[in-house]
Amino acid sequence: MPEFNAPLRDMRFVLHEVFQAPNLWARLPALAETVDADTADAILEEAAKVTGGLIAPLNRSGDEEGAQWHDGVVTTPQGFKEAYATYTEGGWVGLSGNPEYGGMGMPKMLAVAFEEMLYAAGSSFALYSALSSGACLAIDAHASEELKSTYLPPMYEGRWAGSMCLTEAHAGTDLGIIRTRAEPQADGSYKVTGSKIFITGGEQDLTENIIHLVLAKLPDAPAGPKGISLFLVPKVMVGADGSLGERNAVSCGSIEHKMGIKASATCVMNFDGATGYLIGEVNRGLAAMFTMMNYERLSIGIQGIGCAEASYQSAVAYARDRLQSRAPTGPVAKDKLADPIIVHPDVRRMLLTMKAMTEGGRAFACYVGQQLDLAKYADDTDERQNAEALVALLTPVAKAFFTDTGLESCVHGQQVFGGHGYIREWGQEQLVRDVRIAQIYEGTNGIQALDLLGRKVVANGGAALRLFAAEVRAFAHDHEATYGALLLEALERLEAVSGWLLEQAKTEPNAVGAASVEYLHLFGYVAYAYMWARMAAVAQNKQAEDEAFYGGKLATAEFFFTRLLPRTLSLEASIRAGSQPLYGLAAEQF
């Protein structure tokens, strides 16, 4: 069974050396007395033990056994319940939660590193607490004080879990056509009726209560998405003193049989006049839910990085050990019948692609986490607003690019193993299956691309893009010796394509949809180029201190800039081909 060892050295490099997070935390009053470098390192060390020693050993057995449903009751695989109890005792669910209600109040820059470890160790296990953390975020941001004080403490403790109940069988991404209804009651509560599908952790045996956040419409609600409200619907009713009472009118009709994440219960949830409580304002539920959805989108993006890291670790170990053929330059392991396959150019191409994209993603996740921390904690209004704009711009990039390239990396990892990669015992085929869902849920990657180009670039005339570009350009000019020129060239390509699309969108209705996926990937490679330039600048200055680590970082940066960043050339060409080639066939010709 493959092991997982958290990449702590690289995580510390990104957090402390590239982004100098402790310096940032020290100047943000809300974080200054909460976390410092030593605290962060202690948390990362403990997280590595929990994920590697407690969760990773359950990953394969959990996949083979899967979650089970019988007469409305869901049972998680053997060992999950005990592991979850140990996990929650450590306070991990509330790691970045509001301290006023029992959370640890850790910064997002630190939380993203923990989330990567969690997904790498076991995506199915990770999802149970990921949905709880997201639900807590929405409740904390939008619910009444009464709801927050009642529900947040036991959720942060892990005694209660959370779920996100959005879509329905007929609706898919189009939430404006949901049919779930909420009838107001005399006591201020609501009766919620409807059926929701694809509900992660909607039912399970890990916690004593599950708090469902449900999108529904009031009887007089406007049509479409402007008529959606958000409701808190507990599985078990909660008394005024916080004690558990009777079961609410909520039930699990079935669970899905899936390609991957089989130990995660993906439920059909039925609400039959269930008691619920309004979160936020009437008909403003989608905006409130997006607080949770944006959190989950970054989190699910990190699932792509975590799975890729797990795949990379196994692939490297295998490539160092597996003997097959001789190196093109002649025998390397002369005392053996053949050389380890890591000597072969194509194996190195795959491993370096995995390494470059995973480490670039790790840095970019930390960067987005930094913007989230500034948006939440910065005292300066301009700094906070700029960070908010960058979060809005970069979240769809993070979700989609992390997961698209995460699948690519997992497929590379499987390929390194050859035929053994297709066999269950090595773990690579499970990673391919598990990571695949990350491109689909929390808004498909095609929707993320439309959001990026249509809403975050075209709709505001590229204002947020200019903010990001100004930061990247300034760094490129200041660091010409470490890939500044190549970074600037890639940035200018992104800006030129963006300007061209802004003009195209004025007269061509299909322009945004036709270019959006390629545009997001172009943006992703430029963002990673910025990350690699920043990492290379630090590594170059410190190379003499640790040649193995910093020299390896510089060699990987060279591979990224010379072998991966040129992908932007073909992406630009594809975008500039326009929408016409997509409409050369009539529907009946497909």
* Cβ atoms of 142 and 293 closer than 8 Å: no
Q: Alpha-carbon Rg of the chain, whole angstroms? A: 24
Amino acid at 281: E
Residues 6 or more apart whose CB falls under 8 angstroms from that of 50 comprise: 86, 87, 90, 92
Active-site positions read 442
CB 451 within 8 A of CB 396: yes
Question: d(Cα 428, Cα 440) in Å, to the nearest integer?
Answer: 20
Strand pairing partners for 266?
Answer: 200
DSSP single-letter state for residue 322 = -
| CA atoms within a 13 Å half-sphere pointing along the CA-CB vector of 419 | 0
What count of other Cβ atoms lies within 10 Å of the Cβ of residue 223?
9
Whole-number Å distance between alpha carbons of 65 and 79: 11
Residue type at 28? L
> Locate tokens 């390397």: which residue?
332
Sheet strands (E) in 132-240:
160-165, 181-184, 190-200, 209-216, 229-234, 236-238
| Residue 36, beta-bridge partner list | none
Please give the backbone phi and psi of residue 192, each rounded to the nearest 5 degrees, phi first: -100, 130
